[in-house]
C-alpha cells in the first residue's frame, strides 16, 4: 500500500546556484546578441525608407520632365549641399519679390533662392498658379511629401531623407556622371560610422 506524504512534508527541488548562474549567463548572451543586431536592423529599416523616398522623388522628376520637356535644373556650383529640387517639384507662386508655396504656408525672397542656389530663377513658378499664355499651370509633383522630408539649408528649403534631416538629397542634372543624359540623385546615410549611399544608379 502506497502512502503519500502530506503536502507540507513533500520535498520541493530548488535551483542550485550553478543552475541559476547558467540561466543568467544564457540570458546575458541572448541580450548581447539582440543589442548587437539593433544597429543593423535600424540601418536596414532606414535604407528601406530611403529607397521608398528615392522612388517617390524619381517619379516626381519624371512627371516634371513630361510636363516641361527637361529635367529640373540643379545648382551647378554645388557650393553647399542644396539644390532647387524642392522648389521645382512643389511649384512656387511669384508674389512681388518673393516665392510662395501654392498653399501659402511658405515664403522666401527670390534673391535668397537665386543667390544661394546660383540659379537665374525657377521654371515651375509663375505670378499665378493657373495657366497663362506663356506659362503652363504650376503643378505640385510631390503631392505626398511629409514635413520630415523637408529641411532648411542656408535659408532655402531642401529635400531630405525623413530618417535623418541632415541627409540632403543630392541632385545633378547638368553633368551627371552615373546616368549620362538624365540625372544623378542620391543621399548618404551614416550608421555606426559607415556611409550608406542610396542612389538612382545603384539600388
What is the structure's pLDDT at 14?
A: 67
Residue whose C-alpha cell reads 521654371 in the numeric block: 123
Does residue 4 sit within a domain?
A: no
pLDDT digits (tens, 9 = 90+) for 76-93: 765 556 789 999 999 999
Is the pTM of the predicted complex or chain greater than 0.85? no
pLDDT digits (tens, 9 = 90+) for 26-50: 887 777 776 665 666 677 888 899 9
For the chain, the domain total comes to 1
The residue segments making up the domain with residue 23 are 17-199
Give the residues across from 152 on adjacent strands: 157
What is the rounded distance in angstroms from the CA atom of residue 94 to the CA atom of residue 12?
84
**Cα 157 vs. chain centroid, distance in angstroms?**
14
Cβ–Cβ < 8 Å for 98, 107: yes
Does residue 6 sit within a domain?
A: no
Q: Please report which helix (H) or strand (E) contains residue 62, including its range.
A: helix 17-68
Does residue 7 sit within a domain?
A: no
Does residue 2 sit within a domain?
A: no
* Residue 166 DSSP class: E
Does residue 138 sit within a domain?
A: yes
pLDDT digits (tens, 9 = 90+) for 83-122: 899 999 999 999 999 999 988 889 999 999 988 888 888 9
Amino acid at each position: 500500500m502506497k502512502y503519500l506524504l502530506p503536502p507540507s512534508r513533500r520535498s520541493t527541488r530548488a535551483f542550485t546556484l550553478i543552475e541559476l548562474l547558467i540561466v543568467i549567463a544564457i540570458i546575458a548572451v541572448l541580450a548581447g546578441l539582440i543589442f548587437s543586431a539593433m544597429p543593423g536592423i535600424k540601418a536596414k529599416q532606414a535604407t528601406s525608407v530611403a529607397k521608398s523616398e528615392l522612388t517617390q522623388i524619381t517619379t516626381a522628376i519624371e512627371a516634371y520632365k513630361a510636363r516641361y520637356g527637361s529635367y529640373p535644373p540643379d545648382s551647378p556650383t554645388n557650393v553647399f549641399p542644396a539644390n532647387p529640387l524642392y522648389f521645382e517639384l512643389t511649384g512656387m507662386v511669384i508674389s512681388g519679390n518673393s516665392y510662395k508655396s501654392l498653399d501659402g504656408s511658405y515664403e522666401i525672397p527670390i534673391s535668397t533662392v537665386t543667390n544661394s542656389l546660383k540659379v537665374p530663377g525657377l521654371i515651375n513658378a509663375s505670378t499665378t498658379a493657373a495657366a497663362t499664355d506663356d506659362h503652363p499651370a504650376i503643378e505640385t509633383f510631390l503631392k505626398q511629401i511629409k514635413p520630415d522630408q523637408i529641411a532648411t539649408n542656408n535659408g532655402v528649403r531642401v529635400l531630405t531623407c525623413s530618417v535623418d534631416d541632415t541627409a540632403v538629397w543630392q541632385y545633378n542634372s547638368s553633368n551627371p556622371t552615373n546616368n549620362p543624359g538624365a540625372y544623378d540623385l542620391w543621399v548618404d546615410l551614416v550608421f555606426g560610422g559607415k556611409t550608406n549611399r542610396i542612389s538612382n544608379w545603384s539600388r
